[in-house]
Structure 1
């Protein structure tokens, strides 16, 4: 994959990220930092590309023209669908963008529909194996919950295992592996809230993550960007890949973010949801640093988990 093709796919991902016109200033800043971070590992000025996309100086047809094989065009579409679904099933504006993209890429309608069906199934994956009749409270809403007996050591173990799994997923070459990370993080928050007596719905969990400073769309763009720049996605296309350095970095970040999300959720719900926005973000930032430090200790387990992962089975379990 040439730099021009890598740049084109990343441009398409950024166009997808802003397709809904609803990204707030915080999410845009997350994505800008992603571009700056990826630029350090690539021979591409992604900060400039980010600015061009934000200011609508990038044309979709120009980017799709650089993708000259069916495999590259399918990969670009799959990644764009994942970006649109990162913060929930895509809305009408994102659907219109994906229709324009599939036409520009000259994708067969059945292949485009299959990509969307898979991504939507993950985005709407059930939070638990059984139905829940309760909705979660809004962030900041005063709610008292029963104080169940909680095995905190067991919760810590489940958070660590979720972090190891998500770190392992980042070492797999398939873009679908990265799509599974956010649903797994969402499910982790649900389980933690439930352990402390709160029945949460997807809207509450997304609000909680946004309040803590987790940018779902930017996280997904970064995950795929590192795979793309590191050449790991090239393995799916039959290439050898340039380097696993970016994949290792992505694995470390997925481990750390999952660990931090789990631990900050544990603090939040254990404390009766009394942390305000600033306290939540400060806690998440500190725990993210601790997660990065822990990742090296658990790297052998992450690599072992990646070697034995059955991605198809995991996807089936996630979709319920």
Structure 2
């Protein structure tokens, strides 16, 4: 993949992020920070690209023209679908954008529609607990103590957070786009299970607000997730056929592990302490725990790789949709 091709794919994804016309200021700021962070690591000026997209200086027709292979065009479409579905809902503006994009990319309409429907079903997966999809792992290290409760097994919740982090890290090692799309529904379910353990029955909207308050915008997270994979590809100068790795999978895997771990730990403290933290406190805690998780991830790299080798993505996504 050339820098120009990667730039085009990122531009398509940024256009998808703003296609709904309803992104609030905090979400736009998250995407801007993503662009700034990625720009330090790649051959692309992500900030300039972000501004060109936001201000409408780039046309979709010109952007997709650089995607000169069927694999790149399919990849761009799948990633754009993931961006549109990241917040759990696809509105009419996003649906129209994806239909136009598929046409410009020359994709077969029926196949494109089926992929969108499958992604939508996954994005709308119920928040209730799924059947067992985790593998037993060792205890986490160095977690701060929470208030004692006779009804809550903190050790079990710690293991659940670590299992979810390993699972999401493993999903980023899989080649399918749908694997990355499963990460946010699994994070939502993790928060739900932690809240429920502390006596809170949470719905999807509450969890989305909780994640946004910690600074984890779902659209922004997905853009960052795929951006880091593309940056890994640029730095490694590697791109295989669709269904192969987009460069350094380990980059995306470490990011998803750390994000999931920090989300789980923040939720554990927030609901365990009676939801007393304000927005600033949640953001600061997430930032601190995310850095801690980045250091912790290396300890579990082997388990993440082993989990990826044994994952049945079709079974996992079916369980998510059906619960």
Query: TM-score scaled to structure 2, two decimals?
Result: 0.88
Match of 1:162 among 136, 161, 164: 164
Tell me, yes or no, if structure 1 residue 32 matches structure 2 residue 70. Answer: no
2:85–2:119 Cα contact (<8 Å) kept: yes
5+ residue gaps, structure 2, are 131-148
Q: Against the structure 1 CA distance between its residues 289 and 68, is the aligned structure 2 distance closer, same or farther, given a 3 Å change threshold? A: same
1:150 counterpart = 2:152: yes
Aligned residue in 2 for 1:143? none
- Per the alignment, residue 5 of structure 1 pairs with 5
1:1-320 → structure 2 map (5 Å cutoff):
1-129=1-129, 149-231=151-233, 234-237=239-242, 243-244=247-248, 247-320=249-322
Unaligned runs of 5+ in 1: 131-146
CA-based RMSD: 1.9
Distance (whole Å) between structure 1 residues aligned to residue 150 and residue 123 of structure 2? 30
How far apart are 1:238 and its partner, in Å? 7.0
Q: Assess, with a 3 A threshold, how the Cα gap between structure 1 residues 101 and 238 changes in structure 2: closer, same or farther.
A: closer
The alpha-carbon deviation at position 271 of structure 1 amounts to: 1.4
- Aligned residue pair count: 301
Q: Distance in 2 between matches of 1:203 and 1:87?
A: 10
Q: Is the 8 A contact 2:175 2:243 kept in 1?
A: no
Checking the alignment, whether the CA contact within 8 Å between 1:212 and 1:280 is kept in structure 2 is: yes
Report the CA distance shift for 1:87/1:148 in structure 2 as closer, same or farther (over 3 A). Answer: farther
